[in-house]
């Protein structure tokens, strides 16, 4: 059994704060600041450029990738870390399209994170040649998979509502129709059990600053199934993905396996924070995390609906159909969320009317959930949200 009392002690959450926004940015692992500081002073400071060899910086993207792989059902040597999620989406999608050259349609859904759709649209504009991005409602994805689809590109958990796609079922359906799959795990990795190998997913990508708690702007990861690892051509053929980066050949030769999906120089300082954040997961069972997060979200939903009837549940009621968050709608959702944040209950808002609350048992328990509902009920009952200051939108919502 996972000891969630132990994991809670590993985070530096300010006293009095109930943090329900790990689905957007995870809190600071207590060990991260020291780890980054030691990397700067002991490795960079003392070794200088020698750190690439003596401190293992050059191989860190693979080593850290393997640590993430354990949490997403990926075998060692199939995940690498570096660059941003947008870059990794571009890489995965471009490679998948090249592996299915007789087809021209990418299928996605309206619940996908808009950035993924932007990346897809930009790539297809560059390619031209009749490529098309087809976007359907989330409920219609399975029926829309047919013999015209080259790539199915989905975010497993809807960033707004928490709606959960069935990765295994949709991947099987895609493969039966001759399509490849690209799964975005931004709201899955560290939140729910993922089995990329068992689902036979072709490509997967994800960020590390949400449920993996690696900090703002932390590097992303990419997974390539072993059957594609030595044939997928990296569209972004950067020097770190070269077969021999320090041979400085003028012609590009893709590196072996997942190494070819490296692009630029890895962000070693940020990766030190990620490595420290992953220490929290040692001894943690994703099955335990899932059971606990469902219990917390179900409790929150029941209590909110009992005490705050003016809010409308936007997430699936069935826990098996949602990730690790619960979302509620209200016309003044933004102002309500600002009033909550001012009282140290931190969730977030997504346009046009969605309040999101994430439930991460690594640092949230039943007591925090009940206390959060107490504050929410007070904010609504006494209209504490109805001020000009709370209606004024910031740059980040």
CB 360 within 8 A of CB 326: no
Integer-rounded Cα Rg, in Å, for the chain is: 22
Helix H or strand E encompassing 306: helix 286-307
b or e along 3-42 (b: 16 or more beta carbons within 10 Å of the residue's beta carbon)? ebeebeebbebeeeebbbbbbbbbbbbebbeebbeebeee
Is 209 in the active site? Answer: yes
Distance CA 396, CA 349 (A): 9
Helices vs. strands in the chain: H and E counts, helices first: 15, 13
DSSP 80-107: EE-S-HHHHHHHHHHHHHHHSTT--EEE
Strand bridging mode 348-350 / 180-184:
unpaired
- Catalytic-role residue among 90, 159, 209, 223: 209
Is 356 in the active site? Answer: yes
- Catalytic-role residue among 11, 19, 113, 359: 113
Is 173 in the active site? Answer: no
Angular region, 74: left φ>0, alpha ψ -120 to 50, beta rest: beta
Helices assigned H by DSSP within 128-225:
141-144, 167-176, 196-199
Distance CA 227, CA 224 (A): 8
6 CB-side CA count, 13 A: 9
Distance CA 397, CA 394 (A): 6
- Catalytic-role residue among 103, 160, 322, 356: 356
Distance CA 234, CA 8 (A): 40
Count CB atoms within 10 A of the CB of residue 260: 27
Would you call 46 exposed, middle or buried from its count of C-beta atoms within 10 A (0-12, 13-18, 19+)? Answer: exposed
Residues labelled as active-site residues:
113, 184, 209-210, 356
């Amino acid at each position: 059994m996972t000891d969630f009392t132990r994991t809670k002690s590993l985070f530096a959450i300010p006293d009095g704060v109930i943090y329900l926004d790990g689905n957007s940015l995870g809190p600071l692992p207590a060990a991260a600041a020291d780890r980054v500081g030691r990397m700067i002073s002991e490795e960079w400071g003392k070794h200088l450029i020698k750190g690439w060899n003596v401190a293992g910086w050059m191989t860190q993207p693979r080593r850290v990738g393997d640590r993430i792989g354990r949490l997403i059902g990926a075998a060692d040597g199939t995940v690498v870390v570096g660059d941003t999620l947008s870059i990794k989406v571009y890489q995965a999608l471009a490679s998948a399209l090249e592996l299915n050259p007789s087809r021209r349609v990418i299928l996605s859904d309206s619940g996908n994170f808009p950035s993924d759709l932007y990346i897809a649209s930009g790539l297809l504009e560059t390619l031209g040649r009749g490529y098309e991005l087809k976007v359907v409602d989330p409920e219609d994805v399975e029926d829309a998979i047919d013999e015209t689809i080259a790539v199915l590109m989905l975010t497993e958990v809807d960033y707004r509502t928490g709606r959960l796609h069935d990765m295994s079922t949709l991947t099987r359906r895609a493969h039966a129709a001759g399509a490849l799959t690209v799964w975005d795990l931004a709201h899955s990795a560290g939140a729910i059990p993922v089995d990329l190998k068992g689902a036979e997913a072709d490509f997967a990508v994800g960020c590390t600053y949400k449920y993996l708690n690696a900090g703002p702007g932390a590097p992303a990861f990419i997974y390539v199934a072993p059957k594609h690892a030595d044939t997928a051509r990296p569209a972004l053929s950067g020097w770190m993905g070269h077969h021999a980066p320090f041979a400085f050949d003028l012609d590009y030769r893709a590196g072996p396996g997942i190494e070819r999906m490296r692009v630029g120089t890895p962000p070693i300082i940020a990766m030190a924070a990620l490595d420290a954040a992953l220490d929290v997961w040692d001894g943690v069972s994703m099955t335990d995390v899932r059971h606990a997060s469902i219990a917390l979200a179900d409790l929150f939903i029941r209590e909110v609906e009992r005490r705050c009837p003016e809010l409308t549940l936007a997430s699936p009621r069935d826990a098996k159909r949602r990730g690790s968050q619960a979302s509620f709608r209200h016309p003044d959702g933004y102002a309500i969320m600002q009033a909550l944040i001012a009282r140290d209950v931190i969730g977030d808002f997504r346009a046009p009317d969605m309040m999101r609350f994430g439930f991460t048992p690594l640092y949230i328990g039943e007591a925090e959930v009940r206390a959060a509902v107490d504050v929410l009920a007070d904010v609504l009952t006494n209209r504490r949200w109805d001020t000009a200051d709370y209606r004024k939108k910031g740059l980040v919502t």
